[in-house]
């Protein structure tokens, strides 16, 4: 069980990660592990993954050893902007948000490449994805939802859908932490959602972020 101090630190870290999306969006490149070594890849070569986010969305797979690049179609459309975390990785699984087609493509590693295994429909246009708590969590423009992960399979049916604090289309990023998930909306909201017995349960809980000031203090508190 987490101590109160560790729990607070975990929440703070999740909030910091979510808040970072308000200022510095990025493409979401990640490494896909090869847990089977030579059976599925060449000496467990790491793969760097990122999404092209174009009208026809692709997962760009970069072999970190040979630097060869493979473009694997997601079967969906990109088009999200001002977001972060459009690609998520857990072991040999990867998830890619397809904003324009309102779905998420699940990939599984085969050798030194990734292969599309399934496409999951989402309740709102997805901008960010993450793995945690044996679930895939998806941040859409108006909702956050969870899908159960069992080994290398992701359920096609959501087991939890929660409305965002603002739900105004400005959703930016979602991250998982010990107590649940934290997400950001560019219009100025940071929210936390907890997991229930199954998936996410509402409502979203607002997190107050102290306003920035122009006054600089030293570590001792002196100006």
Mean per-residue pLDDT for 187-216?
87
* Domain that residue 47 falls in: 4-206
Assigned domain for 214 exists: no
Assigned domain for 77 exists: yes
Assigned domain for 222 exists: no
Structural domains counted in the chain: 1
Assigned domain for 186 exists: yes
What confidence tens digit (pLDDT) does each residue in 49-64 have? 999 999 999 999 999 8
Tokens 């909702």, residue located? 143
- Cα angle 170, 195, 210; round to 5: 50
Q: How confident is the model at residue 7 (pLDDT cuts 50, 70, 90)?
A: very low
Assigned domain for 223 exists: no
**Count of Cβ atoms closer than 10 Å to residue 51 Cβ:** 24
Q: Give the model's pLDDT for residue 209.
A: 75
Task: Identify which has the larger pLDDT, 158 or 2.
Answer: 158
CATH number at residue 53: 2.40.128.630
pLDDT of 15 higher than 70: no
Q: Give the model's pLDDT for residue 8.
A: 45
Q: What are phi and psi of 33, to 5 degrees?
A: -75, 155
Task: Identify which has the larger pLDDT, 121 or 216.
Answer: 121
Q: Give the model's pLDDT for residue 214.
A: 59
pLDDT of 42 higher than 50: no
What confidence tens digit (pLDDT) does each residue in 70-106 have? 999 999 999 999 999 999 999 999 999 999 999 999 9
Q: Kindly report the pTM of this predicted structure.
A: 0.80
Q: What does the mean pLDDT of the chain come to?
A: 83
Assigned domain for 217 exists: no
């Amino acid at each position: 069980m987490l101590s109160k101090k560790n729990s607070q630190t975990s929440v703070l870290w999740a909030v910091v990660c979510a808040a970072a999306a308000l200022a510095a969006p990025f493409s979401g490149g990640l490494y896909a592990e090869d847990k089977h070594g030579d059976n599925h890849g060449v000496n467990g070569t790491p793969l760097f993954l990122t999404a092209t986010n174009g009208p026809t969305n692709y997962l760009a797979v970069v072999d970190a050893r040979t630097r060869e690049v493979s473009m694997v179609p997601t079967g969906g459309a990109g088009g999200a902007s001002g977001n972060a975390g459009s690609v998520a990785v857990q072991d040999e699984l990867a998830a890619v948000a397809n904003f324009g087609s309102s779905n998420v493509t699940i990939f599984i590693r085969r050798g030194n490449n990734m292969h599309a295994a399934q496409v999951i429909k989402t309740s709102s246009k997805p901008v960010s994805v993450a793995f945690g708590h044996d679930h895939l969590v998806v941040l859409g423009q108006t909702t956050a939802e969870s899908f159960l992960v069992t080994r290398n399979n992701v359920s096609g049916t959501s087991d939890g859908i929660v409305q965002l604090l603002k739900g105004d289309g400005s959703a930016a990023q979602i991250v998982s932490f010990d107590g649940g998930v934290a997400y950001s909306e560019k219009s100025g909201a940071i929210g936390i959602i907890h997991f229930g017995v199954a998936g996410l349960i509402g409502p979203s809980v607002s997190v107050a972020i102290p306003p920035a000031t122009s006054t600089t203090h030293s570590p001792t508190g002196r100006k």
